[in-house]
Chain A
């Protein structure tokens, strides 16, 4: 594994960030955020390497660069095309965005996505882009914690969001990760296609609701994985990774395209009349796609 961690010291100048840790020297660090991203980055690298034989983000051994303590009170994490960047949270609604492995796995998967299908970051394709990141993020956390589909609570960012009743997203029940939150209100994610939100393809419209409508393919994955049983990454994960890396996955793919590809890959891996194919069909059917 090749990884570097940089400290932005609450500034926004990424070029001026200080190297805090690198996998070559593996020196000890005291920073909690630093320890979090090393743990999460390693878990993500191992997940892709051990299960799929993938050699880092680009499958060519790319160095993973993670930047912590970005900006003052920044309540966000992002992938900028070259690196993962994490804020410390505002301390009121959110704590450090390094607090959950699934967030780190989510951001790293955006990098994997850019090197594979590179789905457009808008409308249905953008929601699929987000969904792949959520799905691989939750699987990375489940594998790290050795949780099967029953033991997992299927929540993303439950530590990042302050308060025991809240998380950023739920794959099991999209739209319920936070309810009646004093600042955020209710989780806006729909679980099913009949509740798809047509939003403007603008920054304030979340590029057509990419973080909103991702609830629909997330729910399809949850149902499929749950019905297969066991560990999500062993069966459902193999199918979704095959789709993520399938050259036939078009950049402007729609939910129905991914549905068809997951069924096709499930048939290829497990057999046409297999329980896994049935579970994938059930997943998309429950999500009304």
Chain B
């Protein structure tokens, strides 16, 4: 399956995205999304970036600081591949 990391927000609100093919089962993906779910009560960071993971048509907010060790390389690659989405 393909997963897409989307970065939004920031001092100027640029949207960036990167996509990668992964071999995760639905169960593994659900577990990962559960672990990296952001704390909804966390205060908003002024000028902070937010991240979302898109799988198919599902877009889920995530907290990159919560990524487990076994997925760190994957997310590091996604982050380094982030490209600005140009407005049409």
Binding site for B on A (CB under 8 A): 12, 72-73, 75-81, 93, 97, 103, 106-107, 110, 114, 121-122, 129, 133, 157, 168-169, 183-185, 203-204, 206-207, 211-212
Select the residue from A77, A103, A157 with max chain B CB neighbours within 10 A: A77
From B8, B61, B80, B86, give the contact of A206 (CB < 8 A).
B8
Minimum distance in angstroms from B44 CB to a CB of chain A:
4
Could you list some 18 contacts between A and B, CB below 8 A? A72-B79, A76-B48, A78-B45, A78-B46, A78-B47, A78-B49, A80-B46, A81-B45, A106-B47, A121-B44, A122-B44, A168-B12, A183-B86, A184-B14, A203-B8, A206-B9, A206-B13, A207-B44
Q: Are A183 and B47 in contact (CB under 8 A)?
A: no
Residues on B with C-beta less than 8 A from A168 are: 11-12
A79 with B47, Cβ < 8 A, contacts A12-B65, A103-B11, A204-B15 known: yes
Residues on B with C-beta less than 8 A from A97 are: 11
Number of interface residues of B (CB under 8 A): 26
Chain B contacts with A in 31-46, Cβ cutoff 8 A = 43-46
Instruction: Give Cα distance in the complex from A133 to B84, angstroms.
Output: 25
Residues on A with C-beta less than 8 A from B13 are: 206, 211-212
Q: Are A93 and B46 in contact (CB under 8 A)?
A: no
Residues on A with C-beta less than 8 A from B43 are: 81
Q: What is the 8 Å Cβ interface bit string for chain B, positions 67-88, against chain A (1 contact, 0 not)?
A: 0000000000001100010110
